[in-house]
């Protein structure tokens, strides 16, 4: 049951679901690149980009706040850019002494940091919508249609599929340990910290060996079922007029964001 939680695709029949996966991949990549190219402090462009995310989320049938609610988990990683607050020259806002260091926050640094956080937040939301509306087989085949090297696509596909196998093997080990462990009535026990670390290390080594053996069996099973280095699909992935129209409109909108960010901002 835990392995199933790794799958983020949500089946549906919305317009976004029915779009060709190549269009969704290209729009997502261009949206992320557009965020990177936006200058610091282009708040109007950022706001319009978020409006595009909310509109896309609403069209998926998952609700306008689907991607927004799930994107906050990525915000702590954006804190790695907190050094920008003290690294850029500008008008001082406040000072902070940390041991031998005297840190001075500037207005330019705050704008840079806030812009990085917003860029990351919007990009993660669009990526969430991509994975929620496109199954993983369609994603891999879209990458192949877009001329991504076959070896890279196959490695990515096998790594993703093997996550479920690895999770299943780990769950079996945990259940086996629970079945062979007795808990005292007092609720205490289980050995010392060193003993628990040794048990955890043995379980990790056992997991590696079992996963290696399982991967060999999986590979032979794939060869027996006709695997020749590339996954096949029944979906022909034919570009329709609607796909071309949505792709062109999205690119024009992203181009408009770049123009707005450089000609006028809030």
Residue 39 pLDDT greater than 80, yes or no: yes
* Confidence label for 37 from pLDDT (cuts 50, 70 and 90): very high
Q: Which one, of 136, 140, 165, 161, lies nearest residue 230 by Cα?
A: 140
Q: Which two tokens stand for residue 7?
A: 């799958």
Q: Which residue has the higher pLDDT, 165 or 224?
A: 224
Report phi then psi at 126, rounded to 5. -65, -40
> Average pLDDT, stretch 211-215?
82
Q: Which residue has the higher pLDDT, 230 or 1?
A: 230
Residue 208 pLDDT greater than 60, yes or no: yes
Q: Which two tokens stand for residue 52?
A: 């595009």
Strand partners, 95: 104
C-alpha 35/C-alpha 29 separation (Å) is: 10
Q: Which one, of 154, 109, 127, 137, lies nearest residue 53 by Cα?
A: 127
pTM reported for the whole predicted model = 0.78
Residue pLDDT, tens place only, 65-104: 888 888 888 778 877 787 777 777 878 777 777 667 777 7
Least confident of 112-126, 143-157, 171-185, 220-234: 171-185
Least confident of 65-79, 138-152, 170-184, 239-253: 170-184
DSSP 240: P
C-alpha 105/C-alpha 88 separation (Å) is: 8
Residue pLDDT, tens place only, 155-164: 888 888 888 8
Residue pLDDT, tens place only, 163-206: 887 888 888 888 887 777 656 555 555 566 777 788 788 888 88
> Average pLDDT, stretch 15-44?
92
Residue 53 pLDDT greater than 80, yes or no: yes
Q: What angle do CA 83, 87, 91 make, to 5 degrees?
A: 120
């Amino acid at each position: 049951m835990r392995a199933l939680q790794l799958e983020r695709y949500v089946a549906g029949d919305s317009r976004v679901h029915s779009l060709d996966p190549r269009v969704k991949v290209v729009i997502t990549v261009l949206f992320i690149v557009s965020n990177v190219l936006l200058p610091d402090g282009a708040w109007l462009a950022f706001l319009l980009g978020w409006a595009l995310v909310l509109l896309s989320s609403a069209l998926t049938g998952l609700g306008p706040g689907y991607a927004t609610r799930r994107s906050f988990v990525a915000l702590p990683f954006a804190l790695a850019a907190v050094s920008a607050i003290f690294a850029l020259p500008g008008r001082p806002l406040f000072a902070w002494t940390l041991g031998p260091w005297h840190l001075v926050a500037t207005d330019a640094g705050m704008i840079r940091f806030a812009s990085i956080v917003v860029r990351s937040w919007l990009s993660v939301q669009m990526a969430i919508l991509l994975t929620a509306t496109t199954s993983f087989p369609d994603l891999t085949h879209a990458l192949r249609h877009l001329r991504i090297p076959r070896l890279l696509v196959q490695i990515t596909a096998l790594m993703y599929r093997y996550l479920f196998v690895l999770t299943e093997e780990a769950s079996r080990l945990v259940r086996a340990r629970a079945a062979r462990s007795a808990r005292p009535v007092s609720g205490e026990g289980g050995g010392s910290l060193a003993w628990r670390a040794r048990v955890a290390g043995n379980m990790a080594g056992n997991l590696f060996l079992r996963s290696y053996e399982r991967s060999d069996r999986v590979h032979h099973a794939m060869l027996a079922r006709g695997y020749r280095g590339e996954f096949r699909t029944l979906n022909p992935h034919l570009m329709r007029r609607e796909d071309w129209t949505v792709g062109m409109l999205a690119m024009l909108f992203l181009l408009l964001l770049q123009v707005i960010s450089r000609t006028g901002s809030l």
